[in-house]
Structure 1
Amino acid sequence: MGHRNRARRGPNGRFRTLHAPHVWWTRFPSPYRENAEYPKRPTPSNRRIVKATTSKPTMNHTRTLAGLIGLSALALTGLSQAQQLYPTVEAKLKPTADNFYTSPSTSELTSVTPGTVLRYRALPAGSLSTNLKEGWQLMYRSNNNKNLPVAMVTTVLIPKSVPATGRKLLSYQAFYDSLTLDCSPSGQATSNALLEKTFFNSALNKGYIVTMADYEGLESQWIVARNSAHGVLDGIRATLRFTKAGLNATTPVGMLGYSGGGFATGWAAEYAPSYAPELKIVGAAEGGLPVNPINVAKKVDGTFWAGAYIGAVVGLSRGYPEINVEDYATPAGVEAVKDAGTRCLTGFPNLLTAYAYKNGTDYYKDPNFLDLPVMQAINRENTMGQFTPKIPLHIFQSIGDQLMPIADVDNLVATYCARGVKVEYKRVWGTDHVIGALGMGGGLTYLLDRFDGKAVPNTCK
């Protein structure tokens, strides 16, 4: 994935400048404007003038240049924005081979605020929901774990039943748990292969707009708290600013997620008061929580879910470059780290099947690798409960979850309650992490009630 991490420019600043009734390919000084659509990169075969069907060209290049200068002036004064058409998503094109995911340069990212839309494109018709009016993918500015500017992508779904006014937004955090961009929600959305669409289709059927961020970022920083929180919150900001969604700064927002998506949701709730206090978040529903990443790794070591151990270590190392995992790895571990970086938990190539029933001692020289001071220090930064959410929460957890120690979740809820957070906590009978995802239905109902302004339940004693 290293080749995706380099900051590079977009499609060379090529734009399609419109002059009724004709179109010419021209250049524009800066391709990165909020809510800017992106053109297909011109090639020798498509640089020719495109004639309109209504008449022959009557404008000369002088008028084209004059129009371009006028458009530039308007964009710079904020009175208008450059509109650059980026082709509709190609379903078979993976994100790692898709120029849409190429990050702008650091200087270009620094020049705009978090949540600024950098580019956007349409989803193919019929993607993810039969109730979909239109779908979009936005690249936006965010900040990573080190608070450095980065680009991220979110998928925005607008249902046919969306009201003209009073729209509501659900921020859905997928449990994609991936070490490659190819397993990201946006990548799965283009191929209509996202397993989780059942969970947010109910919201679409209610007329709510859904935004679904690739909150791990272009580097796939799995289980890195601050990076995930920023990705979620800036994805919400970008969606609110995206004019085609018909939303604004007063739009109520709910957040929903399970497992890795619950981790991102929970951390977004913790960071929102300091990082994005302007957002009107009415509540969050989160379940299957990896409260303490190292405790999860220890629990799954040697089990069917052992891939989560090596995956979490690789993901954390991407957020904390000071960890050179290979320095601690055995020869087999060095190869495993490279291989795991191409896999994901919920897609293919699959991380779980590759490392089922493996032991951490097979890959790390020190049998107490997870207890090393450097790992414990990083784990503390990524253990939930660092900050206090200012919104009501619905937390649900399977008692017999094979991955997530329920004692950690119990302690997190107790911490929130002691700080005055209103929490509805549901301990669900069951012995399976996957089946625990069915609690998402109750989580969505909880959020619908928050949107409707109903009384907030509180199980804190």
Structure 2
Amino acid sequence: MHARTTALTAVAALTLSLGPGGTGHSGAAARTADRPGDLVSSAPTAFRRLPGQPTPTRAWHIKYRSTTAKGAPNTVSGTVLVPTDGSPGPRPLITYAVGTVGLADSCAPSAGFPRGTTAEADLIQLLTLRGWAVAVTDYEGLGTPGVHTYTVGPAEGRAVLDAARAAERLPGTGLSKDTPVGIMGYSQGGQASGWAAELHASYAPELNVKGTAAGGVPADLLKVAAHNHGSTGAGLVLMSAIGQNAAFPELRLDAYLNERGRRYVDLMKRSCVAIDTVAGLFREMSDVTVRDPLRRPAWQRALHASDLGARAPDRPVYLYHGTADQLIPYAVGDRLRADWCARRAAVAWRPIPLGEHVAGAISGSVPAANWLADRFADRPPHSDC
């Protein structure tokens, strides 16, 4: 019974960890879109909190241009939400990064919103009920060709910033290039949001970013992997290896896998996070490989390329982390705080006492949104550095 309970707890934790009116863009935009954030297509969709429960929003499924970890152009999908609250605007925009959903296209947030099955829809609705527009990226390889580049920070951060650009360029939203923008995400979404914060000045300086709220951030993937080997988060380690290999095929993950590993990788590419978690539960990398890729210099360089903390965000940051986080060690989040502070970033640091990973996502979301509301109101930020 204890093993079964632990497995179900892990599934729930990882599921939360993480984690549209037509505009006629499909043909012409597909031919002309060449800047990051340019729309390739848009189409009406729906945003439901739960199955059969509509929300007071207009929603668009979009495809837009972004940039890979290697700097090449790509196309990413996502969703833009605007409250139907009668307000003529202007209104702020949150570019929202979800936590871990899985590797299959069916796991993408945009695929789950119409069905009411996206895990973080409740948290996103709290933002639209404030009157804020929300852009939710699917990330590279979820809902578009290719394998999802899971945990590849530079690609995630660019997808988050370009989702905001795309939302501002989408007709019918009431948004513009002057729209105040907040960046928000937890777990994988915290990594993506942190990268968006670090990349803003160099990659998308025209966005009117007011601040970033990032929680449960896996800022050092090798430390997170070491923490999760053989534990409830072991499936995340193999998922991360798949994502890194998708961004950097020269890593040649297949050369390291044994037959069991190849079966697991195939299963994970076709599944969402609950199945991926059970498949990898309590396994070491040695169970699925002939030799551990994470010990190889090329792999370590690739993983370190997704480390956060080497650059200071140019806008204030709200950083939060559960002190009892079982998936992403509290020390990893605290180290990121110290690194950003050392580079003179303005960081509001909020430990969540006794908070494990799911509790951090839920209890931290409202204070994070309140902090962003203060940034939209141009109140001076407090720094804990």
Distance (whole Å) between structure 1 residues aligned to residue 65 and residue 321 of structure 2: 33
Distance (whole Å) between structure 1 residues aligned to residue 312 and residue 124 of structure 2: 27
Q: Is the 8 A contact 1:36 1:117 kept in 2?
A: no
Q: Is the 8 A contact 2:318 2:348 kept in 1?
A: yes
Larger RCO (alpha carbons 8 Å, 6+ apart): 2
Q: Is the 8 A contact 2:78 2:137 kept in 1?
A: yes
* C-alpha displacement of 1:248: 0.7
Runs of at least 5 residues in structure 2 that lack an aligned partner in the other structure = 1-21
2:6 equivalent in structure 1: none
Distance (whole Å) between structure 2 residues aligned to residue 299 and residue 223 of structure 1: 16
* C-alpha displacement of 1:431: 5.0
Distance (whole Å) between structure 2 residues aligned to residue 332 and residue 430 of structure 1: 37
Which of 98, 102, 114 pairs up with 2:36?
114
1:298 equivalent in structure 2: 226
* C-alpha displacement of 1:419: 1.2
Which of 339, 342, 356 pairs up with 2:267?
339
Q: After alignment, is 126-135 or 207-216 more displaced? A: 126-135
Distance change in 2, residues 1:201/1:162 (3 Å): farther
* CA offset digits 1:286-307 (Å, max 9, x no partner): 1011111121111111112211
* CA offset digits 1:194-244 (Å, max 9, x no partner): 121221212211111111011233331100111111111111100001111
Which runs of structure 2 are paired with 1:405-424 in the superposition (5 Å)? 405-424=329-348
Q: Is the 8 A contact 1:176 1:185 kept in 2?
A: no
Which of 440, 443, 461 pairs up with 2:365?
440
Which runs of structure 2 are paired with 1:257-406 in the superposition (5 Å)? 257-345=185-273, 350-367=275-292, 369-406=293-330
Distance change in 2, residues 1:320/1:35 (3 Å): farther
Q: Is the 8 A contact 1:288 1:437 kept in 2?
A: yes
Q: Is the 8 A contact 1:135 1:155 kept in 2?
A: yes
Distance (whole Å) between structure 1 residues aligned to residue 294 and residue 371 of structure 2: 37
**RMSD after superposition:** 2.0
Q: Is the 8 A contact 2:92 2:132 kept in 1?
A: yes
Q: Is the 8 A contact 1:430 1:436 kept in 2?
A: no
Distance (whole Å) between structure 2 residues aligned to residue 408 and residue 396 of structure 1: 11
* CA offset digits 1:219-276 (Å, max 9, x no partner): 3110011111111111110000111111111100011110011111110111111000
Q: After alignment, is 160-169 or 320-329 more displaced? A: 160-169
* C-alpha displacement of 1:126: 5.7
* CA offset digits 1:62-103 (Å, max 9, x no partner): xxxxxxxxxxxxxxxxxxxx69xxxxxxxxxxxxxxxxxxxx
TM-score by length of 2: 0.88
Which runs of structure 2 are paired with 1:204-283 in the superposition (5 Å)? 204-217=128-141, 218=144, 219=146, 220-283=148-211
Q: Is the 8 A contact 2:39 2:170 kept in 1?
A: yes
Distance (whole Å) between structure 2 residues aligned to residue 125 and residue 344 of structure 1: 20
Q: What is the identity, as a one-letter code, of the residue corresponding to 1:286? A: A
Task: Report how many residues are paired.
Answer: 357
Ranges of 4+ aligned residues in structure 1 off by more than 3 Å: 34-39, 124-131
TM-score by length of 1: 0.74
Q: Report the 3-state secondary structure (helix = DSSP H, G, I; strand = E; otherwise coil) of the residue aligned with 1:434.
A: helix
Q: What is the identity, as a one-letter code, of the residue corresponding to 1:370? A: L
1:144 aligns with 2:132: no
Q: Is the 8 A contact 1:132 1:157 kept in 2?
A: no
* C-alpha displacement of 1:162: 5.4
1:36 aligns with 2:24: yes
Q: What is the identity, as a one-letter code, of the residue corresponding to 1:351? A: D
* C-alpha displacement of 1:411: 1.5
Distance (whole Å) between structure 2 residues aligned to residue 133 and residue 412 of structure 1: 36
Q: Is the 8 A contact 1:159 1:208 kept in 2?
A: yes
Q: What is the identity, as a one-letter code, of the residue corresponding to 2:105? A: L
Distance (whole Å) between structure 2 residues aligned to residue 159 and residue 287 of structure 1: 25
Distance (whole Å) between structure 2 residues aligned to residue 354 and residue 342 of structure 1: 12
Q: After alignment, is 381-390 or 334-343 more displaced? A: 334-343
More helix by share: 2
Q: What is the identity, as a one-letter code, of the residue corresponding to 1:287? A: G
1:154 equivalent in structure 2: 78
Q: After alignment, is 118-127 or 443-452 more displaced? A: 118-127
1:452 aligns with 2:377: yes
Distance (whole Å) between structure 1 residues aligned to residue 286 and residue 48 of structure 2: 47
2:110 equivalent in structure 1: 186
* C-alpha displacement of 1:192: 1.6
* CA offset digits 1:356-382 (Å, max 9, x no partner): 111111012225x31210111111101
Runs of at least 5 residues in structure 1 that lack an aligned partner in the other structure = 1-33, 40-81, 84-103
Distance change in 2, residues 1:149/1:361 (3 Å): same
Q: Report the 3-state secondary structure (helix = DSSP H, G, I; strand = E; otherwise coil) of the residue aligned with 1:156.
A: strand
Q: Is the 8 A contact 1:35 1:120 kept in 2?
A: yes
Distance (whole Å) between structure 2 residues aligned to residue 150 and residue 392 of structure 1: 29
Q: Report the 3-state secondary structure (helix = DSSP H, G, I; strand = E; otherwise coil) of the residue aligned with 2:340.
A: helix
Q: Is the 8 A contact 2:100 2:187 kept in 1?
A: no
Q: Report the 3-state secondary structure (helix = DSSP H, G, I; strand = E; otherwise coil) of the residue aligned with 1:244.
A: coil
Instruction: From the CA coordinates, give the structure whose radius of gyration is larger.
Output: 1
Q: What is the identity, as a one-letter code, of the residue corresponding to 2:374? A: D
Distance (whole Å) between structure 2 residues aligned to residue 386 and residue 162 of structure 1: 43
* C-alpha displacement of 1:127: 6.7
Identity within the alignment, %: 29
* CA offset digits 1:86-132 (Å, max 9, x no partner): xxxxxxxxxxxxxxxxxx6xxx57x6211111111111486777542
* C-alpha displacement of 1:165: 2.8
1:101 equivalent in structure 2: none
* C-alpha displacement of 1:314: 0.6
Q: What is the identity, as a one-letter code, of the residue corresponding to 1:36? A: G
Distance (whole Å) between structure 1 residues aligned to residue 101 and residue 152 of structure 2: 11
Distance (whole Å) between structure 2 residues aligned to residue 170 and residue 431 of structure 1: 25
Q: Report the 3-state secondary structure (helix = DSSP H, G, I; strand = E; otherwise coil) of the residue aligned with 2:357.
A: coil
